[in-house]
Structure 1
Amino acid sequence: MTDQLVGAAPVAPPADPEAGAKRTARRRRWRLTGLVILGWLALYGVWEYGSWWFGSRLLPTPYEVLLSAVEIVESGNFLTDFSASVLKTFAGFGVAAAVGAPIGYLMGRYNYWRAFFHDGVTIAGTIPAIVYAVMSLIVFGLSNLGPILAVALVSAPYIALNVAEGIRGVDKSLVTMSEAFGRTPQQIRKEVLIPTIVPYVFAAIRMCFAVAWKVEALTEVFGGRNGVGFQIRTEYQLYDIAAVLAWMFLFIVFMLIIERLVLAKSEARLLSWRPQERSSAL
């Protein structure tokens, strides 16, 4: 018996679960990074083939577009027109949030207000963006208010519907328990409702921000006096396809920066209390 105990293999110490989670998260990040790089390389290859097939006059090569983008940045037009488009987009998005978020809260909390707003919000969300762009130009003409109004009209329904779904998704038992423990309505709103709707709000922001940029640029193409859409229209009239694509890709780069460095980081920080967010942040 003693010999068996002495000759037994030593028991290995238990593995560190946190270290394993970090290794898994690291491998996942490397795999995703590799897939992103492969996707961009595939896009580059398709673009080069398309330029060779159609000719650089119809589809300029990536190098030609890159040179045109560098010229735009060096000329100073990029900062002036891009800042104009950004300010108009953010202004319209702010108006949409100020109108859509309270409506969504009322729709999610009270059946009466849901019945009152639901049809109007749904119809407003199904109207094509080009209709909003044209109507805004008819009302305000060639001014900065047209793009701002178009962005607000397009974004507000999405914000209202997402906030309403977030409120309706709140666990009613948590609200009941909070009331049983004597929590005030303000405390319930701060500690139960708002944390629950944050993911829905970020989903609305992502969707609305992409749509808002498109509508804002479309409105500028039709009747803007400055901004990215105005420059795209100008380059199109000059039949400078490389410059049109350069403005478009500068636009895409800015959107990726907003998505990766602003929205994704803010969402991860605000939702760090969720287990899935903690595991992805390792």
Structure 2
Amino acid sequence: MTAIVAGRATPAASPSRRRSSRSRRAGTTVARTAALWSASIVLGLAFWSFLAWWYGPTTMASPTAVVSATAELWQSGVLGNSIQASAGRILVGWALGVVVGAPVGIVMGRVNVVRQLLDPYIEFFRFIPPIAFVTLAVVWFGIGETSKIVLIFYTSVFIVTVSTIAATVATSENKLQAAANLGASRFQIMKTVVLPSTIPGIVTGARLAMGNSFLTIVSAEIVAANAGIGSMIWQARNYGRIDWTFVGIITLGLMGFLFDRVLRVTSRKFLGKYGVK
């Protein structure tokens, strides 16, 4: 094929050439992103080292001290057990919150009577922080895993519910009318129109709930847990190990980053056709 440019015919770019050009641009973008990330990390470590030097080891642990403390805690098994305990509690409580919150949000968004009945409770409890219920959770469910999981569930379920309600209410009225005019039943409309349009909102709520789960787990583990990142941070306070505290904080950040990335990539892969990005 040819293209007319300035009064003369020029050969159009072949599909293989266009694919090669896109591949080069994608490679350049990845390389630029990696370079910026690396520069950001190097600058952050340099600034951290300066602060550690300025304030001293009793106030600010240096990067090298944190690396040594990480190796110490890992070899003793404390860090590995803490990560496993906290990750398990977060995943179970968060998953329960998504499984319950998404259907409740869809029903509340579609059925006005249900929404009017449940809305006062949703609006009341979602403003009470989970840490306010830590003592009650321990009294009601004991110091075992159940109390921590219940608190994570409490953190997650309201966020997912509210996000799902908003996505359900925002469903295009034209699509609903078109499906009804074509003879679709209420169940078919729910399955083919409402649910696909709410999936991006559910994923957004799930991501927000995951972040809040990390906020809650530390409080719960500090109060009633023998293992977990929160418990490890509390033990660091008792032993005066500022470097252990830094290890716990950095571990929480890395865990959250990893969990969110996995959720984003998985959602994009399996739910991308519904507009999840």
TM-score in terms of structure 1 length: 0.85
User: Partner of 1:257 in structure 2?
Assistant: 258
- CA shift for structure 1 position 34: 3.3
User: Partner of 1:4 in structure 2?
Assistant: none
Mapped partners of 1:214, 1:139: distance in 2: 21
Long gaps (5+) in structure 2 = 1-6
Report SS of the residue matched to 1:11: strand
Instruction: Indicate yes or no: 2:84 matched with 1:83.
Output: yes
User: Partner of 1:178 in structure 2?
Assistant: 179
Contact 1:142 1:225 in 2 (8 A): no
Mapped partners of 2:24, 2:193: distance in 1: 33
Give CA deviations for 1:184-210 in whole Å, capped at 9, x if unaligned: 434333322222111111111111111
User: Partner of 1:36 in structure 2?
Assistant: 37
Mapped partners of 2:13, 2:23: distance in 1: 16
Report SS of the residue matched to 1:131: helix
Report SS of the residue matched to 1:57: coil
1:15-54 equivalences in 2 (<5 Å): 22-54=23-55
User: Partner of 1:101 in structure 2?
Assistant: 102
Mapped partners of 1:250, 1:139: distance in 2: 30
- CA shift for structure 1 position 96: 1.9
Mapped partners of 1:275, 1:206: distance in 2: 15
Q: Runs in 1 of length 4+ with deviation above 6 angstroms?
A: none
Cα distance change on mapping 1:120 and 1:29 into 2, 3 Å: farther
Mapped partners of 1:151, 1:80: distance in 2: 19
- CA shift for structure 1 position 164: 0.6
- CA shift for structure 1 position 134: 3.4
Cα distance change on mapping 1:62 and 1:27 into 2, 3 Å: same
User: Partner of 1:196 in structure 2?
Assistant: 197
Aligned residue identity for 2:12: P
User: Partner of 2:12 in structure 1?
Assistant: 13
Mapped partners of 2:160, 2:240: distance in 1: 38
Mapped partners of 2:114, 2:197: distance in 1: 20
Q: Percent identity?
A: 19
Aligned-pair Cα RMSD in Å:
2.4
Q: Count how many residue pairs are aligned between Structure 1 and Structure 2.
A: 269
User: Partner of 1:209 in structure 2?
Assistant: 210
Mapped partners of 1:22, 1:176: distance in 2: 43
Contact 2:200 2:276 in 1 (8 A): no
Aligned residue identity for 1:263: L
Contact 1:69 1:247 in 2 (8 A): no
Contact 2:267 2:276 in 1 (8 A): no
- CA shift for structure 1 position 24: 4.7
Aligned residue identity for 2:178: M
Contact 1:162 1:200 in 2 (8 A): yes
Mapped partners of 1:137, 1:203: distance in 2: 30
1:256-275 equivalences in 2 (<5 Å): 256-260=257-261, 262-273=262-273
Mapped partners of 1:240, 1:154: distance in 2: 30
Aligned residue identity for 1:13: A
- CA shift for structure 1 position 37: 2.6
Give CA deviations for 1:59-79 in whole Å, capped at 9, x if unaligned: 111111011112222222233
* Residue range with higher mean Cα deviation, 150-159 or 93-102: 93-102
Cα distance change on mapping 1:34 and 1:117 into 2, 3 Å: farther
Instruction: Indicate yes or no: 2:154 matched with 1:153.
Output: yes
Contact 1:136 1:146 in 2 (8 A): yes
TM-score in terms of structure 2 length: 0.86
Contact 2:101 2:160 in 1 (8 A): yes
Contact 1:143 1:225 in 2 (8 A): no
Give CA deviations for 1:224-270 in whole Å, capped at 9, x if unaligned: 1222211211121001111121122222222222222x212112113
